[in-house]
A and B are shown apart, each in its own frame.
Chain A
Amino acid sequence: MKIILKNLTKRYPNRNRKIKEDVIAVNNFDFEIPDGELIGLLGPSGCGKSTTLNMICGLEQPTEGKIFFGEDDVTALPPENRGVGMVFQSYALYPHLTVRQNIRFPLENRKGKEKLSNEEMDRMAEEAARMVQIENLMDRKPGEMSGGQQQRVAIARALVKRPRVLLLDEPLSNLDARLRLQTREEIRRIQKETGITTVFVTHDQEEAMSISDRIVVMEVGVVQQIGRPQDVYDDPANLFVAKFLGTPAVNLFDGRVEKRKVYVGEDAILEVPDVPDQPVTVGIRPEGFEPDEQGSLPCSLISVEVMGRDTSVVAKHPAFLGEQIRTIIDSDERPDGKSDVVRFRIRPNKVHLFVPETGERVRFTLPRKEARIAHI
């Protein structure tokens, strides 16, 4: 079931009554979610991602705009008539009911013609439980289970009524690091098996990047960029997206374009044939640095942190915006640490230029030869 969001807008009256202006939680969200895809809504807290999810769910009414599931306009429908399954951040499992009763709960609500027999409900509950592999825990109460198991029960309860759309609000935030990895793969598997169009909300970019078919990056109610995770990472629409995606974060420098060269401080690091002279903010991904004695960017070395496969070189540069430059390099290439200065060659495809005031992207054509090298 594809989901179409048309000019979706949500405004709240300001909590501070002296301010007449409304708070815009979601501003003009336009997006068509293809059938059967897993979509991650990503952004810092307060960016409107949860509000968007609640509007798709029907728990909140949009101020403007429309929501379609397939061809049906569901904007005015209450949640129970939309055919959505929702997994809450707190799981919201009823603590006094067993797992079986929890999963059966949505089915027991059905009335009239849709009413199911006891056996039918049990069969459907078992089926949903098998899907998330908790069929041996059916008689436990939520309090007797681990966080990961509770999460599965919550997913089973959302799936049992065979929803057209599955919604997950911060599904992994209550789990520890190891379970988080395991559970996100689990969510991916369940989504693939059922083929249900799924939207989930997260503030964790790694989580969103790793399992989503597409991610939507939001800030202060405005969609910043929509795309496949790798595309968004490689080709951020603006400074916010570039900063928000990637760990360690993108390294930002105060720079300028002069005579077709990008300068970071006094160091020219890159040739850009098609950009007019202007001040720019230069963003370089941590993996865009290569130690090279002839490199164009000299930095003062602070420390070398070995992480096994990779090495993180921490360095300083006068034009750097922030405390320390963090780079990720191959462990074989790591500097010996004898010298205080480390020189880097910069991979052109890992460099993004932005207008300093607006954060807008300044696009440039990669020099062909270097681009090819970068791909090897």
Chain B
Amino acid sequence: MDKNNRKAWLYLLPALIFLGIFMVYPLFDVLVYSLEEGYNSASQTFFGYGIFNFSYVLRDPYFLQAVKNTFILVIITVPLSTGIALLISLGLHSIKPLKELFQTIYFLPYVTNTLAVGLVFMILFKKTPYTDGFINLIIQAFGGSSVDFIEGPYWAKMFVMCFYTIWVVLPFKILILTSALASVNPDYYKAARVDGTGSFRIFTRITLPMISPMIFYLVITGFIGAFKAYSDEVAIFGTDLNASGMNTIVGYVYDMLYGDSGGYPSYASAAALILFAIVLTITCINLLASRKTVTRS
């Protein structure tokens, strides 16, 4: 190893040590935990190594429910939130008066605490002995019958969940997309106008390809974020997510560690690794798909 090389490693050392302690070691540890059968956290003992933890988790109905919930959440919220964010940013991009004001308003949810937003959603949707909640009042005004969104049927709870998730992730996406739209050189639009390009064609042939790297970034981070959903569920349905049937994979991992039925780090580790495998697969698919569609200049 020549002198320069040694120097480089020396400079990298602090970062490598921290990465090793806080990233590599825990990952490795999770893998070990997930393979230790019958691990007891009190006595720190286990029977032996094997894949029993995985098969247990995969047969656990709570886990399967959590996987189903997470997938529904991902499939509904990622495309919808990205699409809505795109529409809103296009609107924000094209209005002139009070542009900054609107941009601030749309960004406010981002700086608002998740639990506070959850509380507001509870007030909007929750049925109590005194009131049916604001949304139900609206439904009744249009002649419908009220629905219990928080403790009622599965689809109603899922609707609130998706609505909430989209609402929470929108501001960041709008922020990214408005800045992406603003960074497109206006000469492209002028050139397109001189050539008589219709506005829909300008959008599909110029705007979309120009901001496609940013859209792709939002889709990938959106998928990853939605797969890791947990706190939003707690904000609306409380901590016992298994009881309300609205648990997510991360929620399941948490319950296995610290919940009322917790104390099983091996099951938690196995579930976490399954989540990791799912996210990795989806991200790889995303990357492959983007090669064909995303424009890089």
B295 touches A109 (CB 8 A): no
Given contacts A109-B201, A143-B297, contact A94 B194 (CB under 8 A): no
Classify chain B: how many residues form its interface, as a range: 10 to 19
A322 within 8 A of B: no
Chain A's nearest CB lies how many Å from the CB of B183? Answer: 13
B195 within 8 A of A: yes
Given contacts A88-B187, A92-B187, A96-B209, contact A80 B201 (CB under 8 A): no
Considering the chains assembled together, what is the distance between the CA atoms of A59 and B188 in angstroms? 13
Among B185, B192, B194, B206: residue with most chain A CB under 10 A: B194
Considering the chains assembled together, what is the distance between the CA atoms of A92 and B197 in angstroms? 14
A328 within 8 A of B: no
B197 touches A88 (CB 8 A): no
Select which of B188, B209, B295, B297 is within 8 A of A92 by beta carbon: B188
B249 within 8 A of A: no
- Per-residue CB contact flags for chain B residues 196-232 toward chain A (1 = under 8 Å, else 0) read 1110010001100110000000000000000000000
A161 touches B295 (CB 8 A): no
B99 within 8 A of A: no
Q: With a CB–CB cut-off of 8 A, which chain A residues contact B192?
A: 105
**Could you count the A-B residue pairs with CB atoms below 8 Å apart for me: how many are there?**
58
Q: Which residue of A lies closest to B193 (CB)?
A: A79
A201 within 8 A of B: no
Tell me the dominant secondary structure on chain B's binding face: helix
B191 touches A86 (CB 8 A): yes
Q: With a CB–CB cut-off of 8 A, which chain A residues contact B297?
A: 95-96, 143
B195 touches A92 (CB 8 A): no
Chain B's nearest CB lies how many Å from the CB of A143? Answer: 6
Considering the chains assembled together, what is the distance between the CA atoms of A90 and B197 in angstroms? 19
Considering the chains assembled together, what is the distance between the CA atoms of A84 and B297 in angstroms? 28
Considering the chains assembled together, what is the distance between the CA atoms of A157 and B196 in angstroms? 13
Q: With a CB–CB cut-off of 8 A, which chain B residues contact A88?
A: 187, 190-191
Given contacts A106-B196, A109-B196, A143-B297, contact A92 B191 (CB under 8 A): yes
Considering the chains assembled together, what is the distance between the CA atoms of A308 and B210 in angstroms? 50
Given contacts A79-B193, A79-B194, A106-B196, contact A92 B185 (CB under 8 A): yes
Q: With a CB–CB cut-off of 8 A, which chain B residues contact A92?
A: 185, 187-188, 190-191
A57 within 8 A of B: yes
Q: With a CB–CB cut-off of 8 A, which chain A residues contact B193?
A: 59, 78-80
Q: Which residue of A lies closest to B297 (CB)?
A: A95
Chain A's nearest CB lies how many Å from the CB of B203? Answer: 13
Chain A's nearest CB lies how many Å from the CB of B198? Answer: 7
Chain B's nearest CB lies how many Å from the CB of A146? Answer: 16
Chain A's nearest CB lies how many Å from the CB of B72? Answer: 34
Considering the chains assembled together, what is the distance between the CA atoms of A310 and B182 in angstroms? 51
B187 touches A80 (CB 8 A): no
B198 touches A109 (CB 8 A): yes
Within 8 A of B (CB), among A78-108: 78-81, 84-86, 88-90, 92, 94-96, 105-106
Q: Which residue of B lies closest to A84 (CB)?
A: B194
Given contacts A80-B193, A86-B194, A109-B198, contact A95 B295 (CB under 8 A): yes
Considering the chains assembled together, what is the distance between the CA atoms of A161 and B197 in angstroms? 13
Q: With a CB–CB cut-off of 8 A, which chain B residues contact A79?
A: 193-194, 196
Q: Which residue of B lies closest to A91 (CB)?
A: B187
Given contacts A88-B187, A92-B188, A95-B297, contact A106 B206 (CB under 8 A): no
Select which of A58, A81, A85, A109 is within 8 A of B197 by beta carbon: A109
Considering the chains assembled together, what is the distance between the CA atoms of A191 and B281 in angstroms? 57
B195 touches A105 (CB 8 A): yes
Q: With a CB–CB cut-off of 8 A, which chain B residues contact A59?
A: 190, 193-194
A80 touches B194 (CB 8 A): yes
Q: With a CB–CB cut-off of 8 A, which chain B residues contact A89?
A: 187
Considering the chains assembled together, what is the distance between the CA atoms of A94 and B188 in angstroms? 7
A sample of 9 inter-chain contacts (CB < 8 A) reads A59-B193, A79-B193, A80-B197, A81-B196, A94-B209, A105-B192, A105-B195, A105-B205, A161-B195
Beyond A80-B193, A90-B185, 11 additional pairs, beta carbon < 8 A? A57-B194, A79-B193, A79-B194, A79-B196, A80-B194, A86-B191, A94-B188, A94-B209, A105-B192, A106-B195, A109-B198
Nearest 7 pairs between A and B by C-beta? A80-B196, A96-B295, A106-B195, A95-B297, A92-B187, A92-B191, A96-B209
